[in-house]
Structure 1
Amino acid sequence: MSPDPGWYKRAVFYEVLVRGFKDSNGDGTGDLRGLIEKMDYVKWLGVDCLWLLPLYQSPLRDGGYDISDYMKILPEFGELTDFTAMIEAAHQRGLRVITDLVMNHTSDRHPWFQASREDPEGPYGDFYVWTDDPTTYEGVPIVFVGAEESNWTYDPVRRQYYWHRFFHHQPDLNYDNPVVQETMLDVLRFWLDLGVDGFRLDAVPYLFEREGTDCSGLPETHAYLKRVRAVVDADYPDRVLLAEANGWPEDVVEYFGDPLTGGDECHMAFHFPLMPRIFMAVRRENREPISEIMSRTPKLPETAQWGIFLRNHDELTLEQVTEEERDYMHAEYAKDPRMRAYLGIRRRLAPLLENDRDQIELFTALLLSMPGSPVLYYGDEIGMGDNIWLEDRDAVRTPMQWSPDRNAGFSQADPGRLYLPAVMDPIYGFPSVNVEAQQQNPSSLLQFTRQMLEIRRQHPIFGTGDFIELWSPNPAVLAFLREDGEDRVLCVNNLSKHPQPVELDLRRFHGLTPVECRGGVPFPTVGELPYLLTLPGHGFYWFALRG
């Protein structure tokens, strides 16, 4: 890959569950060799970077986020040689690859934790957070409400309590121990040396604990992230650190580090509150939820970028909304209680939008035009469905639907051996929703998504340009400008299911001609009068403003 320090600002990420993407050896589980087989599809789609969910050795009690060996690949996925072959295959096609790294905790099966339990005075005795008093750090919120009753669990071997911000089988590492800090830096170096282009740092706010706080985003955590960034910048230029920090944008900017240096912690962080507000705005047919959260979004340091998404491998999280807004989202998008998980909604994009093609296209256009680097979740480009009868988050982690053949073309295994059953319902089942059919259909959702990605590539301002919202008297229309120098794109979005008119003040662009990006059609030249547009229900326009 040619050197490009700012590649992540212009990139579109494609989130892949390796277990669910392609099975190369017929054992019913996707693997790295299967991903290599489908790398040409990823390149054809038009994304820039793969984001792979955890690949490490794990007992899989939490989808691989419970790691039992940081230096080994889960055997079902392959070996380290398969991993390096996958990296090479991606790089040969101009694609980058980032992986999940869980720094906060390990599995309770990890040899470090077993040694810590059995030998408190040994070299791993202080690798985890232990106490005799389970009221320590009292009042710290429980992440998995309903699944866990406390952040402390008693261990009968050591006869002490250990700290866990997530499930009880995921004990938190003790970052007050300098050896833990160095060990985790060695883990980063190991994978960076193998060629990975960066990491999504899972649960990164929770590395340190202090009495009297909520044990989240503490100064010690930020100090350690600066150490991590310094190592990456010094030894691994062009690599990226993406923070998973679920908070308000004015708080999350702290994970970018010092703005005076251009940012000295993570290069990227997810903009979690934007996503539910897109869903709210469209259902309410009012732009206010999006406008309000964007007005609260501060200017970023020079090297920083938001990561934005519609759906991913977890539930549609509703932590950063009010209780009233959460009730509204549940009522509108998760009428069946089985669709809910923790504080969110465990559904894919197409079922959330009731398979309404116009809405899916509008949401995709918003994802690709709002400020930040967008993340597509595997299968959403073809409108894959979910299976709410599966447990927990497995509802949205079913096999990729490649063809109408056996097991959706995912695997040659006996259907009963699949890690999860392929979706087979009449609307979203693989006989009707699959890559093979949509590649051959010029009007398919897959071809639409590919076209929009191509248009985005032609306009780097979608990744790096300014975002300027344009006021209009019609609250159902969200209009904004993406601009950097002479590259300008006007985006106009109808959040209502009914046709809507809108008048925009474009006098600043007097004499320029809006050219619709999808068809290349020139619209009337901008004059002194308000610029009138009419949009179909859930319609949108992208206009390149040209002289």
Structure 2
Amino acid sequence: MSFSQSIVHHPLLDQQPAGDRDLFAIRAELFTSDAEEALFALYGQQPDYDDWLSRFYDIIAEGFAARPDDLKKLDQQRVHIPDWFQKPHMMGYSAYADRFGGTLAGVADRLDYLADMGITYLHLMPITKPCAGENDGGYAVEDYEMIDPRLGTMADLERLAAACRDRGISLVSDLALNHTADSHAWAKAAKAGDPHYQAYYHCFPDRRLPDLYEQSLDEVFPINAPGNFTHIPQMDRWVWTTFYPYQWDLNYSNPAVFAEMLRIMLQLANRGVEVLRLDSVAFMWKAMGTDCRNQPQAHQLLRAFRALLRIAAPALALKAEAIVAPEHLTAYLGEGAHAGKECQLGYHNTLMVLLWSALAEGRADRLTRMLRRMPSPPANTSWITYVRCHDDIGWPVLDVERQGDGPSDHVRFLSDFYAGRSANSFARGQSFQTGEDRAVHGTSGMLASLAGLESACDAGNDQAITQAMARISLLHSIIFAFGGIPLLYMGDELGMLNDHSFEGDPQKAADTRWLHRPTMDWAKADERHEKGSLTHRIYSTIRHLIDCRADFPALHGDTPSRPLSAANPHIFVMRRSGARGRLLLLANFSASPQIITADEVIAARFRFPLKDRLSQSRFDGLDDLVLAPYACHWLEETNA
């Protein structure tokens, strides 16, 4: 009897209604081959491989048996509507729970604000219990099965998830897959000398192997946390710590770690979480002589998790947080024979960085060139498109063509520009992990401050304010039309500015990312209804984009996006064309008006007359199109 057959007869499943057993059996028949292919590649050489395989199937049977009836109903809805996250009405919002609502209950009290905006996807930054003190913004997890006590309890999470579903909002939660806090129970046991739990991590008795690994490794935080290994005196071992010394990398070559994480994923899914943001997935597998990123086994891990979860909880979607070079990005959605079999969603980090690059340069040719090199996402997957998030803007992804050591001149330019060190800069940001040797990591800052609104307001310059507002609109107009789920970062819909309060907190002062992690300004949120205020102007622009997107079939996630080369280097041209509809996006990244010829529009296979969905303006093709500074048009054909 095959495992796919034996699992259907698991004792826990015998207690389920016949209809539920049948559905589970169908899904097991469909997806166990995908799971076993990946699991055998990972663990097939283990002498007890069959025992581990049985344990993995026990976990998904247990997870399915414990799944509440309303979530099993959601499972069936998502099976029958697999493109639910690709629909154009999907609109995301990202926030720290404590900074948005104080607690999970407080977030629930603010859901009407989000629903009124048209939000259908709410990502709350880490809500599970972090370690005390420095914890990388909550990503150093001490207990995956406990909510941060400052936020509430697992019962509060269930209530929040249910309240979100009632409003058509999918709740998203983080899962730090690559590492735990050094105060996690597994790490504590390892420190105490337990070999079982030392095997959950990468532990070394001396520096011989760490020194060999270091020869090909980069440093993620070279200023604040140099090196990739930390000596732990309690056990006299060196532990792999890619990010910070208090974050221990998990050892996924040990099947026990895979089993633990699979169980935790199902627990969160059964609490009502609909999307798991898988943190730092590119780092999950270590291989000597490589940079230990984007290894084939990391993709096998994702395929195994996805296949098993499709059996037990198919409503759960996986989102890859893979901040990697453009050529590696699409792979986290699956490619080749495995296309669409890893994560359903992935952050389009490259697009975000390129947008800021184009804004600083005042031209779009680099944006166009690099996007044209990237493959389209596989069927039944989508990007998460965004302008800002809780992290820095990491410039090194633009150095894919770099020759030699050190950052390119362009990356140095961007770092200086957005830190306000350039004479012509409109930005008010701060460098992140940029050292005296000018090694460049990234830039911190809120969207409005980076786009020039803060400096313009300080100067009382109305023209500069207008330009800053146009930049904010331009960036959002592109991410809303690019394809996938657009994600607003908390406060950007209101034009909130940098928060310098972190500079007085010793635990945060060294991390400039707290510059863009403010507490939600609810008084400012009330200003969104005050006509004529800057807040109202920004909020109205965002709301207008959401409304224009929501019922536009051409923005369904399965409609391909194709950047087109433009004769004018200041203009970004993108075509979306498919069975659901067509869109031609034109965006001017210059501070001066720019022209695109009618012939170029025709060459893009669009026929006049065209109507701009955003402004309702019409273009008949008799004259060339003049794009105002920082203007963006969503053009569609019309026969009227």
Instruction: Please point out which of 358, 368, 372 is paired with 1:291.
Output: 368
| Corresponding position of 2:526 | 436
TM alignment of 1:340-359, pairs within 5 A? 340-342=431-433, 343-355=441-453, 356-359=468-471
Amino acid in structure 1 at the alignment position of 2:257: V
2:574 counterpart of 1:497: no
Residues of 2 paired with 1:50 and 1:459: CA distance? 22
TM alignment of 1:96-495, pairs within 5 A? 96-121=170-195, 123-134=196-207, 135-139=211-215, 140-322=217-399, 323=407, 324-335=409-420, 339-342=430-433, 343-355=441-453, 356-388=468-500, 390=502, 391=509, 392=511, 393-403=513-523, 434-441=524-531, 444-462=537-555, 463-485=557-579, 487-495=581-589
**8 A contact 1:197–1:240 mirrored in 2:** yes
Residues of 1 paired with 2:345 and 2:322: CA distance? 10
| Corresponding position of 1:514 | 610
SS at match of 1:320: helix
More off after superposition, 174-183 vs 263-272? 263-272
Shift of 1:389: 5.7
| Corresponding position of 1:48 | 120
Shift of 1:51: 1.0
Shift of 1:180: 1.0
| Corresponding position of 2:631 | 539
Shift of 1:143: 0.7
Amino acid in structure 1 at the alignment position of 2:171: V
Amino acid in structure 2 at the alignment position of 1:18: A
In the TM superposition, what whole-angstrom CA distance separates every residue of 1:428-451 from its partner, at most 9, and x where no partner exists? xxxxxx111113437521111011
Shift of 1:338: 7.7
In the TM superposition, what whole-angstrom CA distance separates every residue of 1:516-546 from its partner, at most 9, and x where no partner exists? 213434432x5xx7x6211221112222222
SS at match of 2:287: coil
Query: Per the alignment, do residues 258 and 511 of structure 1 end up closer, same or farther by CA in structure 2, a change over 3 Å counting?
Result: closer
Shift of 1:222: 1.6
Residues of 1 paired with 2:330 and 2:221: CA distance? 25
Amino acid in structure 2 at the alignment position of 1:129: H
SS at match of 2:231: strand
SS at match of 1:68: strand
Query: Per the alignment, do residues 385 and 305 of structure 1 end up closer, same or farther by CA in structure 2, a change over 3 Å counting?
Result: same
Residues of 1 paired with 2:610 and 2:617: CA distance? 8
SS at match of 2:360: helix
**8 A contact 1:346–1:388 mirrored in 2:** no
Residues of 2 paired with 1:469 and 1:65: CA distance? 35
Using the size of structure 1 for normalisation, the TM-score is 0.88
| Corresponding position of 1:421 | none
**8 A contact 1:278–1:289 mirrored in 2:** no
Shift of 1:472: 3.7
Shift of 1:19: 1.4
Residues of 2 paired with 1:5 and 1:362: CA distance? 31
Query: Per the alignment, do residues 469 and 59 of structure 1 end up closer, same or farther by CA in structure 2, a change over 3 Å counting?
Result: closer
In the TM superposition, what whole-angstrom CA distance separates every residue of 1:399-435 from its partner, at most 9, and x where no partner exists? 11111xxxxxxxxxxxxxxxxxxxxxxxxxxxxxx11
Shift of 1:228: 0.4
Instruction: Please point out which of 62, 65, 75 is paired with 2:149.
Output: 75
Identity within the alignment, %: 27
Residues of 2 paired with 1:438 and 1:239: CA distance? 34
In the TM superposition, what whole-angstrom CA distance separates every residue of 1:75-115 from its partner, at most 9, and x where no partner exists? 11011111111101110011101111001111111111010
Shift of 1:177: 1.3
Query: Per the alignment, do residues 229 and 382 of structure 1 end up closer, same or farther by CA in structure 2, a change over 3 Å counting?
Result: same
Residues of 2 paired with 1:352 and 1:19: CA distance? 24
In the TM superposition, what whole-angstrom CA distance separates every residue of 1:306-352 from its partner, at most 9, and x where no partner exists? 22211100111112123222211122111369811121111011000
| Corresponding position of 1:414 | none
Shift of 1:507: 3.5
Query: Per the alignment, do residues 469 and 257 of structure 1 end up closer, same or farther by CA in structure 2, a change over 3 Å counting?
Result: closer
Task: Count matched residues.
Answer: 505
Shift of 1:203: 0.6
Query: Per the alignment, do residues 239 and 461 of structure 1 end up closer, same or farther by CA in structure 2, a change over 3 Å counting?
Result: farther
More off after superposition, 262-271 vs 373-382? 262-271
Shift of 1:261: 4.7
Shift of 1:7: 2.0
Residues of 2 paired with 1:270 and 1:107: CA distance? 24
Amino acid in structure 1 at the alignment position of 2:109: E
Query: Per the alignment, do residues 345 and 523 of structure 1 end up closer, same or farther by CA in structure 2, a change over 3 Å counting?
Result: same
Residues of 2 paired with 1:53 and 1:472: CA distance? 39
**8 A contact 1:103–1:201 mirrored in 2:** yes
**8 A contact 2:429–2:449 mirrored in 1:** no
**8 A contact 2:147–2:153 mirrored in 1:** yes
Amino acid in structure 2 at the alignment position of 1:69: D
Shift of 1:38: 0.8
Which of the pair is proportionally richer in helix?
2
Unaligned regions of 5+ residues in structure 1, if any?
Answer: 23-29, 404-433
**8 A contact 1:347–1:388 mirrored in 2:** no
Amino acid in structure 1 at the alignment position of 2:345: M
| Corresponding position of 1:407 | none
In the TM superposition, what whole-angstrom CA distance separates every residue of 1:208-243 from its partner, at most 9, and x where no partner exists? 212111111222222111110111222222321111
Amino acid in structure 2 at the alignment position of 1:59: C
Instruction: Please point out which of 80, 84, 88 is paired with 1:7.
Output: 84
